[in-house]
Amino acid sequence: MALRQQENYTPEEYLALEETADYRSEYFRGEIFAMSGGSANHNRIARNLVVGLDTAFADKPCEAFINDMRLLVKENGLYTYPDVMAVCGQLEFVPDRTDTLTNPSLIIEVLSKSTAGYDRGAKFELYRALNSLQDYVLVDQAKIHVEHFHRLDDGRWLLQEFNELEDVLKIETIEFEISLTQIYQKVDWTLSE
């Protein structure tokens, strides 16, 4: 989370502000946090993942969403914009809205220097409250490194890490696989975040 504003807001006030805002913000416990923009590599990685998901979902009742679709974690009140989300089955929205999902089975975050600690720590803790969430993937944009957390039947999370372009990320719950070569396609390693 980036810039913090001083005043406390209700969820309704936050949503009204978001409709006219020039930038996206997260909301948690009455506070609004401005989100920073993504780099070229960040956007390339997110695009590559969504293209891969869309291709895999062609004949499945699943959909992938990119960072303009908001998420509400009803269990703790976090409103946020994951880089990529996937829902299999019926889409569930906040009542009277079509811009805020509540039931992703997959969330993917592309890490940056400013968000890596939050995405791995507090944000992942907030995401784990989602009953629908089965898989959480973190993709580093500064080096070849992908972390895949999968929820086991007993509620524990299993971590797999990938560090080679030849590695293949397999997400069995949605029958999706993608090589790291595809994830990092067109990434320019000479660019800084």
**Per residue in 42-90, pLDDT tens?**
999 999 999 999 999 999 999 999 988 999 999 999 999 999 999 999 9
With respect to residue 28, please indicate whether it lies within any of the assigned structural domains: yes
Q: Same domain, yes or no, for 91 and 177?
A: yes
With respect to residue 153, please indicate whether it lies within any of the assigned structural domains: yes
Q: Same domain, yes or no, for 59 and 27?
A: no
With respect to residue 192, please indicate whether it lies within any of the assigned structural domains: no
Q: Same domain, yes or no, for 18 and 104?
A: no
With respect to residue 1, please indicate whether it lies within any of the assigned structural domains: yes
Cα 77-80-83 angle, rounded to 5 deg? 145
Using CA of residue 110, residue 116, residue 121, residue 126, what is the dihedral sign? negative
With respect to residue 190, please indicate whether it lies within any of the assigned structural domains: no
pLDDT for position 3: 47
Question: With 0-12 CB in 10 A as exposed, 13-18 as middle and 19+ as buried, what is 27?
Answer: buried
Closest listed residue to residue 111, CA positions, set 77, 139, 147, 89:
139
With respect to residue 188, please indicate whether it lies within any of the assigned structural domains: no
Q: Same domain, yes or no, for 148 and 66?
A: yes
Give dist(CA 5, CA 28) in Å, integer: 12
Q: Same domain, yes or no, for 71 and 124?
A: yes
Residue 1 has pLDDT above 80, yes or no: no
pLDDT for position 67: 87
The residue range of the domain holding 55 is 39-183
Cβ contact 188:40 at 8 Å? yes
- Counted residue by residue, the chain has a size of 193
pTM score: 0.93
pLDDT for position 126: 97
Residue 168 has pLDDT above 50, yes or no: yes
Q: Same domain, yes or no, for 27 and 113?
A: no
With respect to residue 191, please indicate whether it lies within any of the assigned structural domains: no
Number of domains in the chain: 2
With respect to residue 75, please indicate whether it lies within any of the assigned structural domains: yes
Average pLDDT over residues 99-128: 95
Q: Same domain, yes or no, for 127 and 162?
A: yes
pLDDT band at residue 192, thresholds of 50, 70 and 90? low
Tokens standing for 1?
A: 């989370």
Q: How far is CA 52 from CA 86, 172, 174, 181, 192, in A?
A: 12, 15, 12, 12, 25
Q: Same domain, yes or no, for 45 and 22?
A: no
